Structure 1
Amino acid sequence: MKTFILRRLLLTLPMLLLASMLIFGIFALTPGDFIDGNITLTAARAAELRALYGLDQPLWSRYLHWLGQLLHGDLGFSLQYQIPVSTLLNQYIWHSFLLASVSMLLYWGIALAVGVASALRPHSLFDHLVTAGVFGAMSFPTFFLCLLLIKWFAVDLHWLPAGGMLRTGSDSRGLAWAGEVALHLILPVTALVMLQAGSLTRYFRASMLEVVRMDFIRTARAKGLRERTVILKHALRNALLPIITLLGFELPGLFSGALITEKIFNWPGAGHIHIDSLAARDYPVLMGFTLFLAVLTLLGNLLADVLYAWADPRIRMR
């Protein structure tokens, strides 16, 4: 297993270098930048700023300079916020992690329970209700669902706050702070769970349906094993193998999957500043955040490969 993990780690290095070249090239070749978007600058001041930030250098020179900064843990300098990109992301990234991790735990748990239960009762009333509910939830556009939740529970019923992470002017500490954050989490988490749980439920249902019809499940039942043991120990473990692939996309999804939701609910996360930086053409922030997502994608794929090797020893043999 150690050799397998080491080999996969070594393979990620050239992929990460290629990702950095691709990310830099896309943003560097995009027409316009933060200085072009500032119409208040004179031509002389714009040229001075370009020289100050190195934007007048050749493309290869700028990439090597950016790569050298990355090797020292420096993601660059935000032109819009006038602070280092790493400092900016550190201020917001943990808020995104809180929102997305709570949502992921909920929709994976719900999808697993509902998908398995639906697969064990195919074509039943419960299965048809689950299918209708899944496609109903998936059919809502993100922005419409978020606004609908705000209207119902914040505007009409006044049960929950409409947005933000804390009340305006709040100075809560300790348990009071945690309770306030949890209250503000309910609506955005509900929106993310409704949007994500549907497709994952279908994955679990289809995978479980395929496994429970296999010969080794019939053999396990013929041996007199309890149904709970057959389902949890034999069927579920094999049904999870195709789902492990999805874990490779969950790590970057923790931070990139809630961009619209964070913006609508005014949640102070990385998605919020990502959209603002996109509007302002603050490319150092966009490059740093995109590279961060690329690293998470590679780590997620590595985690999926390791879990595959743990669950199926035949992969380690190859």
Structure 2
Amino acid sequence: MLAADITGRKFTAMRAFVLRRVLAAIPLLLGASLLIFLVFAFTPGDFIDGNINLTAQRAAELKALYGLDQPWWLRYLHWLEKLLHGDLGFSMQYQIPVTELLGQYVFNSFLLASVSMVLYWGIALLTGVLAAVQPYSLFDRLLTLAVFAAMSFPVFFLCLLLIKWAAVDLGWLPVGGMLATGSDTRGWAYVHEVAIHMVLPVITLVMLQAGGLTRYFRASMFEALAMDFVRTARAKGLKERTVIFKHALRNALLPMIALAGFELPALFSGAIITEKLFNWPGVGHVHIDTLAARDYPVLMAFTLFLAALTILGNLMADIVYACVDPRIRLR
């Protein structure tokens, strides 16, 4: 009876904690939407101004048609009202709704981002733990050198270098795209073709992201290994593998939970140049094209999408942290 009562109180406290975090996320999202709108509303020029083929009269008619001649606060309220109904606006460059435009490409970006994130988190976890277990060893020093070497490459240079080596010189992999030109493959052949085209952009994202994350894992694991509970576990005669993976690693992962909440939006935004250079049909590729054309409805929708991912990731990180760390007070 007592155990059931304790469990019920924990569940109630967790539910209240989640509710508070969700309610706190709503004004954050509204504030982000206002800031995003103001940035683009007060940016000089737009898609209509950039079209030199339009006469002054026709440009004025289009501005009135799209509501660009109204005060900024009224335009924001109209935009916010449409957002609440799931309408992200209309792309003036592609002449289709923004929701439909992003819907065509967001899965491709998510596929690239998720595969890359799984790989570089796994690599960073393994190498970071090994470096912390053997601090200042030859492996640790070589890893540090490799990390800083990978992080020092500009993304566009790394992309072009991989294209030249693996695609042009050796001919092992396709230059870019998601499928071969005119491809109509189905089933496992389609999966294989997409996987082959993903190799180079995934390698690029892993090289750019794994280095910094490896240093985080190493520092967190190194700090955990120096704590008293680790020395106590070793004094009890536990195997070193048990001490490292069951005791030290579990505590070292706690600070990484907060970092994980920001990884997905950061990977989406960080893949913009990679998608463009490899001609990967994702939202990052579309973002570059619409940025050049100053198609602000698409730019605002994509930026708001990144803001929503950041808030959602932070919310999920808070909830997971509260679940795995009993030291968190939920009241």
TM over 0.5: yes
Match of 1:85 in 2: 98
Match of 2:3 in 1: none
Q: Are positions 1:23 and 2:72 aligned together?
A: no
Q: Is the contact between residue 163 and residue 265 of structure 1 (CA under 8 Å) also seen in structure 2?
A: yes
Q: Are positions 1:42 and 2:55 aligned together?
A: yes
Aligned partners of 1:177 and 1:106: how far apart in 2? 22
Q: Is the contact between residue 138 and residue 194 of structure 1 (CA under 8 Å) also seen in structure 2?
A: yes
Shifted more, 54-63 versus 244-253: the winner is: 244-253
Aligned partners of 1:289 and 1:55: how far apart in 2? 20
1:123 shift after superposition: 1.1
Q: What letter corresponds to residue 294 of structure 2 in structure 1? A: R
Match of 1:120 in 2: 133
1:169 shift after superposition: 0.5
Match of 1:111 in 2: 124
Q: What letter corresponds to residue 168 of structure 2 in structure 1? A: V
Q: Is the contact between residue 291 and residue 299 of structure 2 (CA under 8 Å) also seen in structure 1?
A: yes
Aligned partners of 2:72 and 2:166: how far apart in 1? 51
Q: Is the contact between residue 177 and residue 279 of structure 2 (CA under 8 Å) also seen in structure 1?
A: yes
1:245 shift after superposition: 1.8
Match of 1:217 in 2: 230
Q: Are positions 1:149 and 2:147 aligned together?
A: no
Q: Is the contact between residue 121 and residue 127 of structure 1 (CA under 8 Å) also seen in structure 2?
A: yes
Match of 1:11 in 2: 24
1:251-284 Cα distance to aligned partner (Å, 9 max, x none): 2124212001001000000000001111100000
TM-score normalised by L of structure 1 = 0.98
1:223-243 Cα distance to aligned partner (Å, 9 max, x none): 122222211111011111111
Aligned equivalent of 1:100, options 89, 101, 113? 113
Q: What letter corresponds to residue 10 of structure 1 in structure 2? A: L
Q: Percent identity?
A: 75
Match of 1:194 in 2: 207
Match of 2:10 in 1: none
Match of 2:300 in 1: 287
1:124 shift after superposition: 1.1
Aligned partners of 1:8 and 1:134: how far apart in 2? 36
Aligned partners of 2:259 and 2:295: how far apart in 1? 31
1:39 shift after superposition: 0.3
Shifted more, 234-243 versus 306-315: the winner is: 306-315
Moved over 3 A (4+): none
Q: Is the contact between residue 260 and residue 313 of structure 2 (CA under 8 Å) also seen in structure 1?
A: yes
1:314 shift after superposition: 2.1
1:248 shift after superposition: 2.0
Q: What letter corresponds to residue 251 of structure 1 in structure 2? A: L
Unaligned segments of structure 1, at least 5 residues: none
1:310 shift after superposition: 1.4
Unaligned segments of structure 2, at least 5 residues: 1-13
1:316 shift after superposition: 3.0
| Superposed counterparts of 1:153-232, under 5 Å | 153-232=166-245
Aligned partners of 1:317 and 1:252: how far apart in 2? 27
Match of 1:71 in 2: 84
Aligned partners of 2:244 and 2:119: how far apart in 1? 22
1:94 shift after superposition: 0.6
Q: Are positions 1:134 and 2:147 aligned together?
A: yes
Q: Are positions 1:274 and 2:287 aligned together?
A: yes
Aligned partners of 1:206 and 1:52: how far apart in 2? 56
1:315 shift after superposition: 1.6
Aligned partners of 2:68 and 2:150: how far apart in 1? 46
1:2 shift after superposition: 1.3
Q: Is the contact between residue 322 and residue 330 of structure 2 (CA under 8 Å) also seen in structure 1?
A: no
Q: Is the contact between residue 142 and residue 261 of structure 1 (CA under 8 Å) also seen in structure 2?
A: yes
